[in-house]
Chain A
Amino acid sequence: MIAGRGRRIRPPRRGLGTSDAVDFDSMWDVLASSLREIHTKNASKLSFEELYRNAYKLVLKKRGETLYIRVKEFEAEWLAKEVQPRIIEELSQTLLLATSGTQMIATANEKRVAGEKLLRALKQAWEDHNLCMNMTTDVLMYMDRVYCKDFRKPSIFSASMGQFRDHVLRTPLSDNPDDQISIAHILNAVMLDQVQMDREGDIVDKSLLKSCAYMLEGLYETEDEDESTKLYLTSFEPEFLRASEEFYRLEGAKLLLEADAGTFCKDARKRVNEEEDRCRSTLSPLTLTKVKSVVETELIKKNLPEVIALEASGVKYMLDNERLLELELIYELSARVDPKKEELRKAVQARILEMGNDVNKATVAATHTLPKPSDQDGDKAEGEEKASEKPVSQQTTAAIKWVDDVLQLKERYDNVLTEAFKSDQGLQTAFSRSFTDFINAFERSSEYLSLFFDENMKKGIKGKTENEVDLLLDKGITLLRYIQDKDMFERYYKKHLSRRLLMKRSISMDAERQMISKMKMEVGNTFTQRIEAMFKDMAVSADLTSNYKRHVAELGDPDPKRAEIEVNVLTSTMWPLEAMAPSYNDGEDRPRCIFPPQIERIKQGFEKFYLDKHSGRQLTWQANMGTADLRAYFPEMKGAKKTREINVSTYAMVILLLFNDQPPGGFMTTEEIQARTNIPLNELTRNLQSLGVAQKTRVLRKEPMSKDVKIDDKFYFNETFYSQFQKFKIGVVTSGNKVEDSQERSETEKKNNDTRGGVIEAAIVRIMKQRKELSHQKLIAEVIQQLTARFMPDVNMVKKRVESLIEREYLERIEDREPAAYRYLA
């Protein structure tokens, strides 16, 4: 193209005349002597250009191959004759002995000195070689560029590196063919030795080690310089890993024997960090992960289970003594070897279970060591005295203590979890599971938890700020989360709540509402529906009462002696009525209390008022739940004012009003009172006890004076009664919420099971309606899945319910179906 423009291209002048081109040998002589100069560090006399030009010419004249081979030979000779002997010189006898496997006589110090000497010599040789080869390569650049590329030879640099490997490191030291020890072997041994010394705490020259490792990294098995064939990887690293394995196996065994778990952990972590450091600063980063895994398997993985289980200082000890730092270490180590932290999890879980069971046991023990007359003889009339009141309240205390203990335990482990275990997800679920396990292992947990709330609602939250209350409730709710039998809890909670509401024991309605909304969030809507209905009843009743009062006022009843009434109308399905009147069995008509005429009148008035408003409803009066304020006149009382206002239960009021009709000094026996009031005997005795026996509120005088109320005891109006208070309250012995005795408990359980039966049936029908046909296994699985939010259904119970549904023709078995299956019958 250029020629096409009409210009002539000047032929290149023969700058490289034929005369000086052919004479290979003389040019090589120049080159060889120059290379020698380079090796002896006399390069400054040489002209790069001249050498380069020589090499350039040789390659141009197609003598590249010869040149290449000559250079290689030259290097080989140089290394073998000059470098290796110098290194061998530095080899002391001790090293030879040490590596050939004979007795290690040398002291550590001698060994170190000898080793360092060798390493230093090698390092020197290596550095020299590298420098020289860099220069040589520069000079022979043209050859590399043209000849090596064209003929696919490794560059002269890598070729000479190979020479170094073969002639310095790999040449056997002795001619004896059996004795194949070469410098490479010794080098490995020395390096391992140095690392070992470093591990044992001796000071070694790390930079020296590093440069030797670096040298090995720079050398390859073949001239292709494949990354994976670095001498470091092929010869040193396996040895190193083997040695490390050995070292850490011994170390692990030693530590297990000598140290406690805390020390072990500290040491293990230190070792891991050390190895990391070593790889970074002394050896090669390539080894980092490998040696780490060696340490992890040898030191940690193989020993960790034992460490965790160590009797005196293992995880158990750490947990018990709040050794958060050590726990954190253990956690870290476990995380290293096992992402699931199986061992640690097991250990901690076991410990939580153990401690939880301890709490359970302690509570059971606390309740059982006390005499419980009411439980033992089952006769309440006898048992309900002050003496028996004490263990009962102690049981309640025990219940609350149980909750407190559990909460404390929970708090502790939460702390451990966040502080030491970095809020690990897996461990958290493990913790929860353990808590669930032991809480549910304790059969009274739902009752106790409800009691705990009850106690706090009645007393505990007094004087606490909103936040504190909130915190307290939240804690309780966390426990509720662990409880499986939530329906059981609901039952107890309703019972306790109804008492609180009716007797106005609750301190703060706000707190109650808060609690309910919390439960709603936690367990769901259905759970709190009924409880909310109870609150609604209370509100409606308050309205009703005020309406009634207005109604009475409008009627214009002038009777000043007329008693006022406050009524709570409760929807019977929502309220746990059986819990309020425990002594009646269902179906049995409860005897109606006979009210004195003045009260009866009001009662009827209200009934009329109510039924006018809501026709078709039935009112049942629960006299056992009410209270009354009385003004009583004690003629013989000391002091100026002889009237007192007394707050008593409705029954007590009825009893006391009877005495209005008695002449002064007149008496009634228990039997008479019962006949005239129709109060159930056990309630009557209880009320008479508080009226006639209790020291401070002895409004009635009993004959004979004794603790028990017998059927033919005589009661007088106590005219000489004295109380320093103008207003006081006569409590009935069992008005508070307390732990159930075993009889009550089995009753509750029975009722609960009945309810569960219904719930299960409902669930079965729901599922079958949707699915039409379903196998037995699947049906059971779905039922359980639907119900676990409320309670853990018992499989046998589910089966029974299915049977009963088949009997009632809601379902049928599908014939000839294997496995068994059911069909829904519309």
Chain B
Amino acid sequence: MAASSSPYVTLISNDGFEFIVSRDAACVAGTVKKMLDPHSSFAESISGRCTLGTINGVVLEKVCEYLYYNLKHKDEKDVPDMEIPPELCLELLMAADYLHV
């Protein structure tokens, strides 16, 4: 149960990469937030490890970057766009849809 209160969670891509991110950042993504919701006692919320079966490591890295980026600029206006490599665009879009960010 200790994992459920730890400030860090692990996000795992479908090709096995693990990203340890802060809970706050992870919760920017709606799906992850629900996944980790302590009220619903799913396996993820207990272990603090989320395996994201639709996202590969490269995309997930970018996603994590975005999560932090979003968290950092949460209350600001006129935030500069984040650099996104065009070749990842579509996959990132799909991941965003899946993760509800």
Contact = CB atoms under 8 A, between A and B. Distances in A.
Q: Determine the interface band of chain A, counting residues with CB < 8 A from chain B.
A: 20 to 34
Nearest to A11: B90
Contact of A135 (B30, B40, B52): B40
Given A9-B89, A9-B90, A56-B98, A47 B54 contact: no
A463 interface: no
Contact of B43 (A13, A44, A134, A135): A44
A44 B38 CA distance: 11
Interface in A27-57: 43-50, 52-53, 56
B47 to A, nearest CB: 9
Given A44-B46, A134-B40, A50 B91 contact: no
Contacts of A141: 30-31, 34, 100
A152 interface: no
Q: Which of B37, B45, B86, B100 has the most CB of A within 10 A?
A: B86
Contacts of B94: 12
A47 B44 CA distance: 6
B101 interface: no
Contacts of B40: 43, 48, 131, 134-135, 138
A171 to B, nearest CB: 28
A49 B41 contact: no
B89 A2 contact: yes
Interface string B47-89: 0001111111000000000000000000000000000001111
Contacts of A9: 86-87, 89-90
B90 A12 contact: yes
A13 B91 contact: yes
Interface string A296-313: 000000000000000000
A665 interface: no
Contacts of A613: none
Nearest to B34: A138
Contacts, number: 79
Contacts of A3: 86
A16 B44 contact: no
Interface residues of B, number: 30
Contact of A5 (B34, B41, B86, B91): B86
Contact of A131 (B39, B53, B55, B98): B39
Contact of B42 (A8, A10, A13, A46): A46
A53 B90 contact: no
A45 B43 contact: yes
A338 B94 CA distance: 65
A7 B86 contact: yes
Query: Among the interface residues A3, A45, A52, A135, which one has the most CB atoms of the partner chain B within 10 A?
Result: A52
B88 A49 contact: no
Given A2-B86, A9-B89, A134-B40, A50 B53 contact: yes
B63 to A, nearest CB: 14
B56 A48 contact: no
Interface string B19-47: 00000000000110011010111111110
A131 B40 CA distance: 8
A138 B37 contact: yes
B14 interface: yes
Contacts of B30: 141
B91 A12 contact: yes
Contacts of B39: 131, 134
B56 A49 contact: no
Given A45-B43, A48-B45, A52-B31, A16 B90 contact: no
A15 interface: yes
A703 to B, nearest CB: 120
B50 A49 contact: yes
A614 interface: no
B77 to A, nearest CB: 24
Interface string A45-73: 11111101100100000000000000000
Contacts of A134: 39-40
A145 interface: yes
Nearest to A47: B43
Given A134-B39, A141-B30, A141-B31, A49 B53 contact: yes
Contacts of A44: 41-43, 46
Interface string A127-139: 0000100110010
Nearest to B42: A48
A134 B42 CA distance: 12
A754 B53 CA distance: 112
B35 A52 contact: yes
Nearest to A146: B97
Contacts of B37: 138
| 6 tightest A-B CB contacts, nearest first | A48-B42, A138-B34, A135-B40, A2-B86, A48-B35, A10-B87
13 contacts: A8-B87, A10-B91, A43-B41, A45-B43, A47-B42, A48-B43, A48-B45, A49-B44, A138-B35, A138-B40, A141-B31, A141-B34, A142-B98
Given A9-B87, A138-B34, 14 more contacts: A2-B86, A7-B86, A15-B14, A15-B56, A45-B43, A47-B44, A48-B35, A48-B40, A49-B52, A131-B40, A135-B40, A141-B30, A141-B31, A142-B100
